[in-house]
Every structure is written in structure tokens, then in C-alpha cells.
């Protein structure tokens, strides 16, 4: 418990959707009705005629998105601790054909418009020796657990437009961010200036399914080729599509995220009550907190699992809640801490 939202199982309703899709013959490679349904649900959720591609992992979604927006000789500006930088084994470099990731800093893993503009200003298409930025990538929720408000995204998008850059959002925890920001999917994406979104479902209840959502046609012509070439076009495509459809159907995705966020807020309270400092804003379903060794030990003894934060100094740990986090788990953590 608490190690990651990807240690949770799939939500029964999503598995049920998968099971329902397992009937009879279906055209392969996405020409089936489940795929049409998943795409329709995404377009409805985003209130626009976006292009959609389904893939099984967030790394694939991010790398394909960046490769569609950036030539091999280009560069992507992103935060120093972004998932695409530190946790994807070089997938962005692989998919783009060797584009550079240009790193900027910012509090709680957020990029600020000023930092973005300063970094972009260092390069020029006329100077071939230096980097050639084409895109910006932000994580929503950030790797430190913070959420960009729509206005913050719009400010970054403004810099992007002024500098001729496309804006990618790694929305591995898009649903959690949405619940935190209490806005519509459109407001958090294309209305704020996002060109391509990696829309995550896996961490929030799917088995292995993510959608790349292209707004205004960005990357949409190239991406089907890139996906096929990467081995990410499923032959039995209905099984990806059924997950996404089941995830969106009836607003399940938002319910699950709301639960995860609520549990994180509870857990943060428990940690703070025990005297632990929370390091970043607990905007969504992740908590970063500094614990005494005895506290960490007591939690672990009570069955909690959690990783040290890579960037917040000694004694700082990350806790993640998911759709499957229970009150009992929170209670067990509280009990362990009060005993410590």
C-alpha cells in the first residue's frame, strides 16, 4: 500500500468491459466498434473533435507524442525531474530519433513561464550549433504531486505560442489533476493551449491503457505511423479500447480519481498529525513527507510501502493513494504512527 498507483489492481468495471468485448470476431487494428466507442467517449469528454490513439503504457504515449512534435534534430523543454527525463529509460530520445531534453527547474516540479521563456530564449533556429526546441512537456499531476491550474497551463502555452513551440501534457494522472482543479477536461487541455495530451488510465484503474489525444490536428497525421513502427498498434485492438471505454463510461474515471485524492488528503492529515512535514502541496493523490526513521520503520512494519523521494533530501518519502486505497489502510498507517 502507498508504493504507487500502479501496484493497484484494475477496477472491476474495467475488467467487466474487457470481458464484454470478448465476444465473437472483430476487425483488427482498431476498425472495431469498441474502438469507435472509446474514441467517441473521449471526444465527448473533451468536447472537441480530437484525434485519438490508444497505447498500452504511459511511456509509449509520451514518447510517441514527443516524436510527433519534434524532429530528430529538435529539442523538448521540460522539468528536470519530469518522468520523461528520469523514468522512461530514454524513450523520448529513442522515439524522437535523438532529440535533446532541455531541463529547467521550478518549485514542486512545475515549470514557470519565466523559466520556460528564459530557456527558449537561449536558442535560435539560425544558430545550428545549439539546441533547437520544438516542444514543451509538462506533467499533470507533477512528479512532486502538484497540479497546474488551467490558468498556469495557459500562461505556459502563451510562451509556447510566442516561441513557436508545441505543448505536450503528460497526463498520467490527468483524472486526479482534474478532480483537484475542479474544471472540465477541455479547460485543462486544449482550451488552455495543450496540443497533445497523454491521457492516462492505467494508474487510475485500467490494466494497461492510455490514450494519446491530439488537439487541432497536432501530430495526428504522423502518429499512426509512429505507433505502428513502435510495435504499439494492437492487432486485437478491442482490448485496449474496451478499457478506455469502461474507464470513461458513466464518469467512472472521475469517481476513481476523486477517491484517490480524498484518501491522499486523509493520509496527509495522518502524517501531519504525527508531526511529519509535507514537503509539496498535496494537490492530488501523492504526498511527499519527511519522516523520522522510527516513523518510516513503524509504517513499513505495518505493511506500508513507499519510496524515498529522489530530490527532497534525506528522510523524504513519497506516498501514493489510488482508486483502491481503503480507509483500513489509512487507519493502519495512523495507528502505526501513533504507536511510534
- Residue of 27, 250, 275, 293 interacting with its own copies (CB under 8 A): 27
**Minimum separation from the CB atom of position 292 to its own copies (A):** 25
Residues 135-194 that bind its own copies (CB under 8 A): none
User: How many of the chain's residues bind its own copies (CB under 8 A)?
Assistant: 74
Region binding its own copies by CB under 8 A among candidate stretches 11-19, 153-161, 186-194, 276-284: 11-19
Region binding its own copies by CB under 8 A among candidate stretches 123-131, 149-157, 159-167, 266-274: 123-131
- Residue of 13, 26, 186, 292 interacting with its own copies (CB under 8 A): 26
3-state SS string for the chain: CCCCCCCCCCCHHHHHHHHHHCCCCCCCCCCCHHHHHHHHHHHHHHCCCCEEEEECCHHHHHHHHHHHHCCCCCEEEEECCCHHHHCCCCHHHHHHCCCEEEEECCHHHCCCHHHHHHHHCCCCCCCCCCCCEEEEEEECCCCCCCCCCHHHHHHHHHHHHHHCCEEEEEECCHHHHHHHHCCCHHHHCHHHCCCEEEEECHHHCCCCCEEEEECCCCCCCCHHHHHHHCCCCCCCCHHHHHHHHHHHHHHHHHHHHHHHHHHHHHHHHHHHHCCCEECCCCCCCEEEEECCHHHHHHHHHCCCCCEECCCCCCCEEEEECCCCCCHHHHHHHHHHHHHC
- Residue of 52, 56, 152, 257 interacting with its own copies (CB under 8 A): 56
Q: Tell whether residue 315 is a contact of its own copies (CB under 8 A).
A: no
Region binding its own copies by CB under 8 A among candidate stretches 10-18, 156-164, 185-193, 285-293: 10-18
**Minimum separation from the CB atom of position 44 to its own copies (A):** 26
**Minimum separation from the CB atom of position 50 to its own copies (A):** 19
Amino acid at each position: 500500500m502507498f508504493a504507487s498507483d500502479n501496484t493497484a489492481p484494475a477496477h472491476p468495471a474495467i475488467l467487466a468491459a474487457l470481458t464484454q468485448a470478448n465476444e465473437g470476431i472483430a476487425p483488427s487494428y482498431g476498425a472495431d466498434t469498441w474502438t469507435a466507442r472509446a474514441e467517441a467517449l473521449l471526444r465527448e469528454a473533451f468536447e472537441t473533435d480530437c484525434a485519438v490513439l490508444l497505447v498500452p503504457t504511459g511511456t509509449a504515449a509520451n514518447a510517441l507524442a514527443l516524436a510527433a512534435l519534434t524532429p530528430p534534430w529538435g529539442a523538448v523543454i521540460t522539468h528536470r525531474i519530469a518522468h520523461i527525463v528520469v523514468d522512461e529509460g530514454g524513450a523520448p530520445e529513442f522515439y524522437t530519433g535523438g532529440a535533446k531534453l532541455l531541463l529547467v527547474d521550478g518549485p514542486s516540479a512545475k515549470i514557470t513561464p519565466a523559466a520556460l521563456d528564459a530557456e527558449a530564449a537561449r536558442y535560435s533556429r539560425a544558430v545550428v550549433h545549439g539546441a533547437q526546441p520544438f516542444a514543451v512537456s509538462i506533467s499533470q499531476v507533477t512528479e512532486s504531486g502538484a497540479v497546474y491550474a488551467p490558468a498556469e497551463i495557459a500562461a505556459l502555452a502563451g510562451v509556447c505560442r510566442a516561441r513557436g513551440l508545441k505543448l505536450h501534457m503528460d497526463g498520467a494522472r490527468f483524472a486526479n489533476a482534474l478532480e483537484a482543479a475542479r474544471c472540465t477536461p477541455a479547460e485543462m487541455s486544449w482550451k488552455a493551449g495543450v496540443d497533445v495530451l497523454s491521457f492516462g488510465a492505467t494508474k487510475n484503474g485500467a490494466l494497461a491503457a492510455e490514450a494519446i489525444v491530439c488537439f487541432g490536428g497536432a501530430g495526428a497525421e504522423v502518429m499512426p505511423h509512429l505507433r505502428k513502427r513502435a510495435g504499439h498498434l494492437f492487432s486485437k485492438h478491442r482490448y485496449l479500447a474496451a478499457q478506455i471505454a469502461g474507464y470513461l463510461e458513466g464518469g467512472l474515471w472521475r469517481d476513481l480519481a476523486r477517491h484517490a485524492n480524498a484518501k491522499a488528503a486523509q493520509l496527509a492529515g495522518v502524517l501531519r498529525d504525527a508531526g511529519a512535514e509535507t514537503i509539496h502541496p498535496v494537490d492530488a493523490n501523492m504526498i511527499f513527507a519527511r519522516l523520522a526513521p522510527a516513523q518510516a520503520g513503524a509504517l513499513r512494519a505495518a505493511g506500508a510501502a513507499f519510496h524515498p523521494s529522489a530530490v527532497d533530501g534525506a528522510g523524504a518519502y513519497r506516498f501514493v493513494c489510488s482508486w483502491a486505497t481503503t480507509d483500513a489502510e489509512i487507519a493502519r498507517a495512523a495507528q502505526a504512527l501513533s504507536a511510534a
